[in-house]
Every structure is written in C-alpha cells, then in structure tokens.
Amino acid sequence: MGIFDNFFGNKTEDKADETEDTPEQINMACAALMLEVAEADYVDDPAETKTILHALESELNLKKAEVSALLARAKSETEGATDLFPYTHLINQRCAREQKCAILTAMWRVAMADGNLDKYEDQLLRRVTNLLRLDHSDFIAAKQAARPKED
C-alpha cells in the first residue's frame, strides 16, 4: 500500500472550487513533476527513469502497464513546458500535506538516482517545495528520507 491509497477520498482545506479532478489528472501531475526533476540536469539517465517508474507504481498504486502509459503521456504533454504551476496547483487543490511531502520525497529520489545531485535539480526541488506550500523543514525531511540507506 502506498501513501495515495486514500488519495481521492481526502479533500484538503485548500480546495478552492468544487470542480472534480480525475485520478488521471493528478497522476499526470505527479509524473510531470518527477519528469521535470529527471530532465533538470539535461542528462537522460536510465536510473532516474527507473526511479520514476518505481515511484509511480508504488506510491500511486498503479500497474506496470499503467505506469508506462502514464510516463509516455507525461513526456509528450510536458515537452517544452515552462511552468510548474499547473501541476503544483492541482496537487495543492487535492492533496493533504502528507501526500505533498510524499511527492517531494519521490522527486528527491529521482534527483539522487544517478548518484549526482545537480544544482539545477536542487533548485527545481526548492521551487516545487514553495509551490506546494511546504516548509523548509519539509524540504529537508524529504531530502533525508530520499537518501539511499547505507548498510
């Protein structure tokens, strides 16, 4: 079970309007944000893609076929995107703080997947933290939670 088991049953206090967002739209927003992190360093790294696939499968409770299709759609939809606001706005409207922290942690895992935390990845994660209305302590906690465990 992932953090998003009750993803669509919990409305947050941030809900400004009553238009219903579909699960697919929110999944797309999560996938788009993770893709943005993977692309921030201008290097197409298979480890980052693998981490995105795993995060989408485990955190959103999607099947492998659904994850592959979602990632392909997200890649085509986000190509050339210059603004993170549509994705973060949707997440702010539908997600509780705990869910937003889980998304941020997944994004940190993508950034760290290739063993190199690029300055552009770090900068993007700082922007997303602010856009998701999370505190700096959430930024640090997500970064720490995403660090690979040492044996």
* Percent of the chain at pLDDT exceeding 90: 66
Amino acid at 12: T
Largest CA distance in the chain: 48
Task: Report the mean per-residue pLDDT for the chain.
Answer: 86
Kindly report each contact of residues 48-52 with a partner whose C-beta sits within 8 Å and lies 24 or more positions away, as own/partner: 48/110, 48/111, 48/113, 48/114, 50/113, 51/109, 51/110, 51/113, 52/110
Q: Which helix (H) or strand (E) holds 64?
A: helix 64-78
Q: Residue 20's pLDDT is what?
A: 59
CA distance 88 to 90: 5
- Given pLDDT bands bounded at 50, 70 and 90, which one contains residue 92? very high
The answer to whether 28 touches 74, Cβ cutoff 8 Å, is yes
Question: Higher pLDDT residue, 151 or 47?
Answer: 47
Tell me the three state secondary structure of residue 18: coil
CATH (one of 1.10.3190.10, 3.30.750.24, 1.10.3680.10, 3.40.50.300) for 23-146: 1.10.3680.10
Give per-residue pLDDT as tens, 102-139: 999 999 999 999 998 999 999 999 999 999 999 999 99
Asked if pLDDT for residue 45 goes beyond 70, the answer is yes
What ranges do the domains of the chain cover?
23-146
At 107, the amino acid letter reads: M
| pLDDT, tens digit (0-9, with 9 covering 90-100), for 63-72 | 988 999 999 9
- What mean pLDDT comes out for the span 8-26? 57
